Amino acid sequence: MGFWEDAKYIASQDPAATGPWQVFFMYPGYHAVRWHRISHWLHTHGMRTLARAISQFSRFLTGIEIHPGAVIGKCLFIDHGMGIVIGETAEIGDYCNLYHGVTLGGTGMDKGKRHPTLGNHVLVGAGAKILGPFKVGDNARIGGNAVVLKEVPPNATVVGVPGAIVPPKDSQPDHRSWELDQISMPDPIQQEIDQLQDKLNELTKILQEINRK
């Protein structure tokens, strides 16, 4: 049964969970996804006003806004969840983790596909914004408060504003995404500053040697 599989997955991902039954009764992220399953079915069967009413009721209860048109795979873990917004044409793959304050949004008034697509095993850190109709590849990880405006390849880690890809620490993707260290992640801007400083030091040495001659 899908609802129990979701609960077991969330319990396995959250070290604070005491078991699937606690997830089933107490976790707003789990409840928001269950309500979304109903509203999405109604949306795809032409009952869009009722679908939107259910999604707004769910938003009132959980603080999580998921448009009925969004497509969500199995075992989505929304941790805490307050302030999450998932747009109408967003798509989320299987076994993804979203933290509070995440936005899967659009960038304009265009019709058609205008929200992002997340692959499988994607983690999106707290406060991150993914804006636009592009794909975030399987096993990708988005750092907290990053603003992602372009496609992310599989297994990549993105941090910063605007989001930039940082080199992986290893070549093997880690599906235990709740273990992602979101504090000591590399800073791509600082890396560029360090590179410029190294070049400046080299030029300074060259000029000193010229002056000595």
**CATH number for the domain that contains residue 147:** 2.160.10.10
Mean pLDDT, residues 127-151 taken together:
91
Cα 17 to Cα 192: distance, rounded to the nearest angstrom: 40
Q: How buried is 111 (Cβ within 10 angstroms: 0-12 exposed, 13-18 middle, 19+ buried)?
A: exposed
Reported as a pLDDT band with limits 50, 70 and 90, residue 117 is very high
More confident residue, 91 or 10: 91
Mean pLDDT, residues 184-206 taken together:
75
Cα 11 to Cα 5: distance, rounded to the nearest angstrom: 10
Q: Which domain holds residue 126?
A: 2-212
Total count of domains within the chain: 1
pTM greater than 0.85 (yes/no): no
Is the model's pLDDT at 43 over the cut of 90?
yes
- As a whole number, the mean pLDDT across the chain is 85
Mean pLDDT, residues 124-129 taken together:
92
Report which secondary-structure segment, H or E, holds 171. none
> Pairing mode, if any, of strands 65-66 and 147-148?
unpaired
Is the model's pLDDT at 178 over the cut of 50?
no
CA triplet 145, 148, 149: central angle to 5 degrees? 145
Share of residues in the chain with pLDDT > 70 (%): 87
- Tell me the one-letter amino acid at 61: L
Mean pLDDT, residues 3-18 taken together:
83
Mean pLDDT, residues 187-207 taken together:
77
